[in-house]
Amino acid sequence: MHEPSKDGFFGNYGGMFVPDTLIPALNDLLTCYNTVKDDPEFIQELDYYLHHFVGRPSPLYRAKNLSEKCNHTIYLKREDLNHTGAHKINNTLGQILLAKKMGKSRIIAETGAGQHGVATATVCALMGMQCDIYMGAEDIERQSLNVKRMTLMGASIHSVNTGSKTLKDATTEAIRDWMQYVENTHYIIGSALGPHPYPLLVRNFQSIIGKEARRQILDQEQTLPDAVIACIGGGSNALGIFHHFIDDNSVRLIGVEAAGEGLDSNMHAASLSKGKPGVLHGSLNSVLQDENGQIQLAHSISAGLDYPGVGPELCYLKESGRLESYAISNKDALHGCKELAELEGIIAALETSHALALLADKKILGENKMIILCLSGRGDKDMETISQYV
Amino acid sequence: MSKIIAQAFKEKALIAYVTLGDPTISDTITYCKALIDSGVSMIEIGLPFSDPIADGPIIQASHQTALLSGEDVSVRAALDVIKILKEYAPNVPIIIMAATNIIMQFGYRLFFQEATQASCNGILMPDCSIEMTQIIKYEDRVPDVPIINLVSPLCNEDRLKTIISQSEGFVYLLSSTGTTGERDSFSQQLEHFISRIKQIKNIPVAIGFGVSKPAHYKSLTQFSEGVIIGSHFVKLLKSKATIQEGIAAVSNRVKEFKAFL
């Protein structure tokens, strides 16, 4: 159930579109994962770190003031309270334990907002592994705090100056590095993207979010929510919180993409809404591209959503009608961020703020609904950007 | 089938990679004609892509130049170039290298139809593993435009059997892990690896990624049918003050390679 085909397809999306060099490593990764995923020792080790190092379970917090303001009952799944300040560490912990099992000595990762880079640098420090992070030059500029955090934890940051100098290009560079050093290096992809089995692995490591949230809401409200909302860049926090609700047909699954300067502006990152099926970074997914198949530059005020593709499983869920997706502009996201800060004393990441901004939309959400929103990360990293506008 | 390709491998083949539209389409045509005149066995025309994952910095930069040139570097433009070159030299095989997405957006069926009309001799999609070629329906393919498969020396026996038994034309063997780009050393196991290929099927094997010296050409073709030279020629082409000088430099270099055998 909800598992990809042998070759990694979720419906029409997914697959392993990589040069032959990488196939053995991808097959090894899947074999290793299948071996350890039900191994009590592996589960125990992962649980230990998730609990004692990350601080899980994260709270499901009833946001009283925000609820009143929006005329809904709103619960925030507080992934921002995880160690390192976002959901990203759920995945990096799982993957570094896999890398250890596979005997790899070096870790590489791409990062956009820097949260995945920080989460990777963190687990590398924890496990004593060499860590190289690829980051677009523009993102290095706008996320300087995270760059300093990664450096402090011993990671080497590689500035990527090609293309849009953001997440897309950082990912391309990381794959190229992996091509070269695949024999000793594990590539920790940060979102539910890339060639099979990454979309599966990342989703499963992140699904702890929804697993906890479902139990927590049943504890607190004795009923399932009407809707679960998450922002979507590549889709890791969204799939993480959605996964355990997919079979609950009464629960709406709502993803929020970045509309940037507007969906008609060519300055957005709404791959689900505006993309076409295409191959980018190892999988067939919904890609922003021109008529010749050249990948277009995405744009969003939040570096973590600034990506022209989206995870294959989300493409499948959208196509099958299970997932609804909407897009929120830069301006509305900033407003969502400000409102949560004032009402609840929580500064959310700009990525998350896109999901928050949707709460004001009565046409989409109706009224008096019970809603869980994945508060995927904290906004400290975005303070410079936010203070320019607010 | 693929008689033209088979012919190209009668002697130790020297295959030159050319980026379409770097710096212009008209230069690409002039350059390819010069390569043919200087004796290359086959030309691989690379369609520029915004996010090439199998290419090193030199070819990536070449793709960027072509994409920023303002020239039409689409599939159709590549096929038009091939038509012109085929009039010039009908017996020199010309294949296309393109990211899967570029062919997918053009349409697989349409691609194979138009490639046949242009007398294109094969298509290489470096990011399309053998497992993924299944998305191209068999009824859409044509025998005269075989899908050329890449194989890496890390490939295990089972997958090697699958790849080689489905291969037509020739097999593009990666010299080692890594992306395209010049290098000094090659995997020690290449010779043994090629004997494994030949046990599965008697198909020509050309070695690519990193070939940059006449000595490489000589040593690698002791046990293979040819080499593919990409970054080395791209770099040389761009190293001169004018494109004409660049073309002359590469032509001379091709002759040096040929003379060294």
Say if A23 is an interface residue toward chain B (CB within 8 Å). yes
Q: What are phi and psi of A51, to 5 degrees?
A: -80, -55
A21-49+89-197 classified as CATH 3.40.50.1100: yes
Q: CA of B154, closest CA in chain A: separation in Å?
A: 6
| pLDDT > 90 fraction of chain B, expressed in percent and rounded | 89
Chain B positions touching A291 (Cβ under 8 A) are 105
Of B101, B150, B154, the CB nearest to A24: B154
Chain B positions touching A180 (Cβ under 8 A) are 177-179
Q: What tens digit of pLDDT does each residue of B130-186 get? A: 999 989 999 999 999 999 999 999 899 999 999 999 999 999 999 877 777 777 667
Interface test with B, best of A6, A28, A106, A176 (most B CBs within 10 A): A176
Residue at token pair 């959310």: A348
Judge: B49–A294 Cβ closer than 8 Å, yes or no.
yes
Closest chain A residue to the Cα of B175, Cα to Cα:
A21
Instruction: Verify whether residue B55 is a known catalytic residue.
Output: yes
Judge: B129–A289 Cβ closer than 8 Å, yes or no.
no
- Number of Cβ atoms within 10 Å of the Cβ of A225: 25
Rounded CA separation A343/A66 (Å): 6
Instruction: Verify whether residue A88 is a known catalytic residue.
Output: yes
For residue A357, pLDDT over 90 is answered with yes
Q: Are B66 and B46 in contact (CB under 8 A)?
A: no
Closest chain A residue to the Cα of B174, Cα to Cα:
A21
| pLDDT > 70 fraction of chain A, expressed in percent and rounded | 100
Rounded CA separation A156/B195 (Å): 41
Same fold, A21-49+89-197 and A55-86+203-389: yes
CA B112, chain centre distance (Å): 17
Give the pLDDT band of residue A363 (cuts 50, 70, 90).
Answer: very high
Picking from B7, B86, B1, B81, the residue whose alpha carbon sits closest to that of residue B41 is B7
Rounded CA separation B179/B89 (Å): 31
For residue B248, pLDDT over 90 is answered with yes
| pLDDT > 70 fraction of chain B, expressed in percent and rounded | 98
Say if B69 is an interface residue toward chain A (CB within 8 Å). no
Query: Which CATH class name applies to A55-86+203-389?
Result: alpha beta
Q: Dihedral through CA B135, CA B137, CA B143, CA B149, nearest 10?
A: 10
For residue B36, pLDDT over 80 is answered with yes
Rounded CA separation A61/A154 (Å): 34
For residue A1, pLDDT over 70 is answered with no
Of B67, B75, B150, the CB nearest to A19: B150
Instruction: Verify whether residue A376 is a known catalytic residue.
Output: yes
Picking from B192, B202, B185, B201, the residue whose alpha carbon sits closest to that of residue B223 is B192
Q: What tens digit of pLDDT does each residue of A294-341 get? A: 999 999 999 889 999 999 999 999 999 999 999 999 999 999 999 999
Q: What tens digit of pLDDT does each residue of A225-240 get? A: 999 999 999 999 999 9
Of B105, B127, B134, the CB nearest to A19: B127
- Helix spans in B89-148 (H): 100-106, 108-117
Q: Are A282 and A255 in contact (CB under 8 A)?
A: no
Q: Are A142 and A384 in contact (CB under 8 A)?
A: yes
Query: What DSSP element (H or E) covers B229?
Result: strand B226-229
Give the pLDDT band of residue B120 (cuts 50, 70, 90).
Answer: very high
Rounded CA separation B244/B242 (Å): 5
A14 vs A139 pLDDT, higher one = A14
- Structural domain spans, chain A: 21-49+89-197, 55-86+203-389
The pair of three-digit structure tokens given for residue A363, joined into one six-digit string: 């046409």
Sheet holding A156-160, edge to edge: A156-160, A130-136, A106-111, A185-187
Sheet holding A60-62, edge to edge: A60-62, A73-78, A370-375, A227-231, A252-260, A323-329
Q: Are A258 and A235 in contact (CB under 8 A)?
A: no
DSSP A195: S
Q: What is the ipTM of this complex?
A: 0.94
Rounded CA separation A269/A337 (Å): 19
| Domains in chain B, CATH or no CATH each | 3-149+214-260 (3.20.20.70)
Residue B2 has a pLDDT of 75
Closest chain A residue to the Cα of B152, Cα to Cα:
A21
Determine which of A60-69, B52-61, B244-253 has the lowest per-residue pLDDT on average: B52-61
Q: Which of A77, A88, A274, A318 is catalytic?
A: A88
Give the pLDDT band of residue A170 (cuts 50, 70, 90).
Answer: very high
Rounded CA separation A295/A298 (Å): 9
Amino acid at site A282: G
For residue B191, pLDDT over 80 is answered with yes
Cβ neighbours of residue B173 closer than 8 Å, sequence gap 6 or more: B150, B151, B152, B153, B190, B193, B194, B197, B205, B206, B207, B208, B224
Residue B66 has a pLDDT of 97
Chain A positions touching B132 (Cβ under 8 A) are 7, 15-17
Residue B236 has a pLDDT of 98
